[in-house]
Amino acid sequence: MIRLIATDLDGTLLDTKGGISARSAEAICRAREKGVIVCIATGRIHATCAPFHKALGLDGPIIAVNGAWIQHGEKLIERHALPQDAFEDGLRIAESREVSPMAVIEDRMAYLSEDKRYLDKLLGFYEDRSCFMELSSRAEMIERVKTAGCERLSFIGSDASALASLRAELTERFSQWLEVSSSWATNLEIGKAGISKGYAVERLAAMYRIPYEEVMALGDHDNDVSMLRFAGVSVAMGNACEEAKAAARYITGTNGEDGFAEALERFVL
């Protein structure tokens, strides 16, 4: 019996156009009628996933920023910031590579003015531009983080080799302070060590007194691996990366084929 569902958004619950299919919405509605808690667990910031939460009529917690931000309604349950030294070192190491930094600061995504043109496509992905913060320089970004903290530092780039090289160096030098992952092929994300979607799902399961055997997780990328490994029923999308598929117990259809709904119909409904 499944009592808690934790689902990723992009590439998983959301279809190829960034929406939620009628079949998936109906599956969630039926699951909730059975008393199942449905929780969004995403790499997005809270502000950009809250509209989906509302549209689905969900009333449970939201796991955002890969587990660094857990919020239930207006109450912030947990927030985990990067150590300041680790943030500055990561920013400095990446400066010599063809990548653009983006820092999550107080539920907004801060980017540098010099990268605005490059990031236009990403910025246009979100209808609500108020969740972004344009900063003039790395020095300003560092000062903002000193004051407010940073839940995640991301690097966006089209050069896969540059991202791979950066990931290898960050992992080798800072694995004791950093959690390194990706949400999609052209980005790299670092957060506080030990903080992940798996950590957050485990925290919520404990809060609701739900054993891992009664937890279902669905995802498609390597930032989903930790929660796929934790859940008793773990499902990777047909479009998932190899790391996610290897971590999951089951593979469903792609997000363009209602794979999310297919999985709920099989294991929950």
Looking up residue 125, the CATH number of its domain turns out to be 3.30.1240.10
How many structural domains compose the chain?
A: 2
Decide: pTM greater than 0.85: yes
Q: How far apart are CA 87 and CA 187, in angstroms?
A: 17
Mean pLDDT of the region 121-126: 60
Tell me: do 130 and 161 sit in the same domain.
yes
Does the pLDDT value for residue 122 go beyond 80?
no
- Residue 14 C-beta-side C-alpha neighbours within 13 Å: 17
Task: Answer yes or no: do 112 and 67 share one domain.
Answer: no
- The per-residue pLDDT for 68 is 95
Question: Residues 214, 185: one domain?
Answer: no
Side chain identity at residue 201, one-letter code: V
Same domain for 147 and 187: yes
Q: Which residue segment(s) compose the domain that 244 sits in?
A: 4-79+195-267
Amino acid identity, position 204? L
CA distance 134 to 69: 22
pLDDT at 54: 94
Sign of the torsion formed by the C-alpha atoms of 40, 66, 45 and 253: negative
Contacts of residue 54, Cβ cutoff 8 Å, sequence gap at least 6: none
pLDDT of residue 160: 82
pLDDT at 208: 96
Q: Work out the end-to-end distance of the chain between its first and last CA atoms, rounded to an integer number of angstroms.
A: 10
Angle at 30 between CA 28 and CA 36, to 5 degrees: 70
Same domain as 56, residue 138: no
pLDDT for res 90: 86
Please tell me whether residues 106 and 175 are part of one structural domain: yes
**Shared domain check, 260 and 210:** yes
Q: Which domain-ending residue is among 164, 192, 220?
A: 192
The reply to whether 106 and 13 lie within a common domain is no
Residue with tokens 């903002």: 144
Tokens for 202, please give them: 């485990």
| 214 three-class SS | helix
Position 124 pLDDT exceeds 60: no
Alpha-helical segments (H) within the chain: 22-33, 46-55, 84-94, 116-123, 138-148, 160-174, 197-207, 225-230, 242-247, 259-267
Residues 72 and 118 in one domain: no
Percent of the chain with pLDDT over 90: 68
The rounded Cα 3 to chain-centroid distance in angstroms is 22
Looking at the structure, do residues 159 and 216 belong to the same domain, yes or no? no
> Which pLDDT does position 236 carry in this prediction?
98
Cα distance between residue 168 and residue 151, in whole Å: 21
Same domain membership, residue 33 and residue 164: no
Which of the listed residues 165, 192, 219 is the one where a domain comes to its end? 192
The CATH number of residue 221's host domain is 3.40.50.1000
> CB count, 10 Å around CB of 114?
12
Q: Are 40 and 197 in contact (CB under 8 A)?
A: no
The residue from 152, 169, 192 where one domain ends is 192
Are 149 and 167 part of one and the same domain?
yes
Q: Which amino acid is at 149?
A: G
